[in-house]
Each structure stands twice: as C-alpha cells, then as structure tokens.
A and B are shown apart, each in its own frame.
Chain A
C-alpha cells in the first residue's frame, strides 16, 4: 500500500471523512471478518469489533497527534485481531490456530513499536471514552453538561427537566452506569493491576 494511500486513510479516520472510512471498510473489513469467523465468532462480532476498533484508533490517533508511519492496513488489522482476542479471552474461549498465530506475529511488531508510548494513560482514557459511547443518548447529553461543570439549574433548563431533583437523579443514574461499565471491563482490572 502506498504512503499516499496510508495518509489518505489515516486522515480520513481522524477527521471523520465518511467516504475515506468507507474505503477503509472495503480494504480491511473482509480480512477481519474472515479472521473472526475462523476464530469462534460470527459476522456480527466482526462488525462490532471493527467499529469499536476504528473508534478506538480515532481516539488514539487524535490524542497522540503524531504522523502515522508504516502500513495503516496492517495496523488496523492487528488492532482488530487484538480486540477480538481480548473479547475471547474475557469469555475464556480463545482457541488459536497455528496459521493465525503466525500472521499475528508478523503484524505484532508493527503494532508494539507504535503503541508502547503513553500506553497506560492512553489505554485508560480510551477505555473511558469507549464506555461513554455505550451509554444512552440521553445519558451522554446529561453527563457532557455535568462534566462541563454546568450548574444543575442550567442542566434543567437545557434538557427541560421539571426540577433539580429530577436532574440530580438522572445524573446519578448515568454516572453510576458509566463507572460500572468502566470497572467491569477486563481492561480496567488490567490497568489497575499494572500499577
């Protein structure tokens, strides 16, 4: 894959260019799907893994803000494989075929050299941000306002709640939900254990 193409795909992802992201799907998704299906998954799992990984990489690349070197295709493929492996590990049904292990090794070197820096803080934030995406739209809206330090009176006004009591209950439920999603994720325990 040419460097120009790598730049195009990378920039499309970090800037949210839908056409470019569609090109990423066309280029990489079929391989990811076939890997997931060969390793105890279904097509739906592959779709989720792929979307989740793209979101994760968008957060990661935007946060790091350094130019991308190497093959975008290989990087994304490896990240998807790792994601799927993590899911299987958490469900304790990871069975690897020799062939896949080999292809994984080949790609892992690229991935390690580019992900080591700032791993801990970054992984933590990626985890938080991903879990945030799993909340309902309403919860996301409420929490955005809360975390921007808007007073409850203002939150009521914006979201049309009848009283601050209602707003407070909503805020409590949503942040409780977010914390529990974060803490239940196996990656959270992993990050906490590394300290």
Chain B
C-alpha cells in the first residue's frame, strides 16, 4: 500500500532531495517491493512529461477540448445530446440573475447588465501556463489590481515576442475595454477571433461585452446573434439570455 509518506519519499527521490540515509533505505525497499517500483515508474513518467512538455500538454488540452466540443456538436445535431458532464455553477448563477432581472428589472439599463455579465475573475490563470509565467504574470497582476494602463504596456511588450498569444490578447482587449478604449478593444478581440487558438471562440463574447459597455445596442445585439449561431461558442447560454433581455 502506497501511503502519503511513501509518496513524499518518491517525490524526494525523483527530485534528488532525500538525505543519504533515507535514500539508501528507499533504494533498498525498491529492490524488494515491486508495487513501489511500479508506482515510482508511473510517478517518474508523469513528472517528466509535465515538466518537459508543458507547452505540448497545454496544446493537447486544447485538442481534447475540441474533440469533446465536436462530439457534442455532432451528437447534438443528430438529435441525441449527451448529458452535460460538467456543470458550470457560474452559468447557473448568471441564469438566476437574468431571471431576477426579468421579474424585477424590466427597465434594467445597459450599465447594470454589463456589471452583471462581465465576470473577468473567471479568466484562465496565467500562473499555470509554463514558460509564459514570468512575463504574463505581471500583466495579470496589474489587471486584477485594476491598473489597466500598466497591464496594457506589459501586455504589449509581451505580444511583441509572442503576437498571437490568446491569453495576452484577451487580457489586452479587456484592459482596453475597462479603460473605455472601445475601438482598441474591438481591434484586439478581432485579432483573437482571427487567430487559431481555442480561445478564439471567446472573442465574440468579449466583443459583445465591449459593445454593451459602450452602450452600442445595435452592435451588442448583432454580435450576440452571431455568437448564437454556434452552440459551442463561449457563453452561448448567457448570450441567449442577455439577447432576450435586450430585445
């Protein structure tokens, strides 16, 4: 039985941080314990993979998501939609909010709608994304501190080296949006939308949020309608509710 202590020894052994006595004991145990040998081999491979291939792993995650999405789209089209495996509490709370608006807030302004729908806390964390950590992390910190001007300059520096980075583009567009540079925000989201990353399906939602904040009702509606054409687009459900509220 591999217990928590044993995992600590495995970690220490693989990282080379065990003291000599502990390491000798561990190696001795390895010779007689085949279960431990197997576990060590599994853990070793996992460490190697995630450390060495973090970028490949990130891309692979995107591919897996596309396969799931395509499957959902295909089976959806053929009349039998697989039951949704991942329940998204955020989506549920937004639906509740929309319900609340429909009952109590029929005259809700575009301002309050923007406040309710723009939820940038749920942006993907930059800290998990391998080599980009140092350069992008600073920008993300500025963003969460609402220091948007600093965020913008950090992101622009990053994008010079890595012009299609979808996260950097997302943060840049959203910083412009929060600074009310609406034209710049739309331009940035266009770049995101025309890129090849998986995050391109978020661009329409970001653009809709931009038009909403700019109180451009016509463009908000047409962007939402565009977003709704593909049920796999980001925030499809919310877009549908928001559109109904606006119309």
Contact = CB atoms under 8 A, between A and B. Distances in A.
B119 interface: no
B138 interface: no
Given A143-B46, A147-B49, A149-B51, 16 more contacts: A13-B63, A14-B63, A15-B63, A16-B64, A16-B65, A16-B66, A18-B70, A24-B70, A26-B74, A43-B80, A128-B42, A144-B50, A144-B128, A147-B46, A147-B50, A172-B7
Nearest to B1: A176
Interface of B: 2, 4, 7, 15, 38-39, 42-43, 45-47, 49-51, 54, 56-57, 59-60, 62-71, 73-75, 80, 82, 86, 125, 127-128, 130, 196, 198, 232
25 contacts: A16-B65, A16-B66, A17-B66, A18-B232, A22-B70, A43-B80, A47-B82, A51-B68, A54-B67, A55-B64, A58-B63, A58-B64, A59-B60, A62-B59, A128-B46, A137-B86, A141-B128, A143-B46, A143-B50, A144-B128, A145-B128, A149-B51, A179-B2, A179-B39, A179-B42
Nearest to A44: B82
Interface residues of A, number: 47
A10 interface: no
Interface of B is mostly: helix
A26 B27 CA distance: 53
A148 B71 contact: no
A93 B120 CA distance: 51
B73 A16 contact: no
Which of A137, A145, A148, A182 counts the most chain B CB atoms within 10 A?
A: A148
A24 B63 CA distance: 14
A176 B51 CA distance: 20
Contacts of A44: 82
B47 A158 contact: no
B2 A158 contact: no
Interface in A17-70: 17-18, 21-22, 24-26, 29, 43-44, 47, 50-51, 54-55, 58-59, 62
Interface of A is mostly: helix
A168 interface: yes
A51 B71 contact: yes
Interface string A72-87: 0000000000000000
A124 interface: yes
A109 interface: no
Contact of B67 (A21, A26, A169): A21
Contacts of A18: 66, 69-70, 73, 232
Contacts of A172: 4, 7
Given A22-B73, A149-B15, A172-B7, A158 B127 contact: yes
B62 to A, nearest CB: 5
A47 B75 contact: yes
A175 B63 contact: no
Given A124-B45, A125-B45, A158-B127, A148 B63 contact: no
A51 B85 CA distance: 14
A158 B126 CA distance: 10
B2 A147 contact: no
Contacts of A125: 45, 49
Which of B45, B56, B125 counts the most chain A CB atoms within 10 A?
A: B45
Contacts of B43: 175
A58 B71 contact: no
A192 interface: yes
A76 B79 CA distance: 24
Given A18-B70, A29-B74, A183 B38 contact: yes
Given A179-B2, A183-B38, A149 B67 contact: no
A179 B35 CA distance: 11
Given A128-B42, A128-B45, A141-B128, A148 B66 contact: no
Interface string A145-174: 101110000000010000000001101100
A54 B15 CA distance: 34
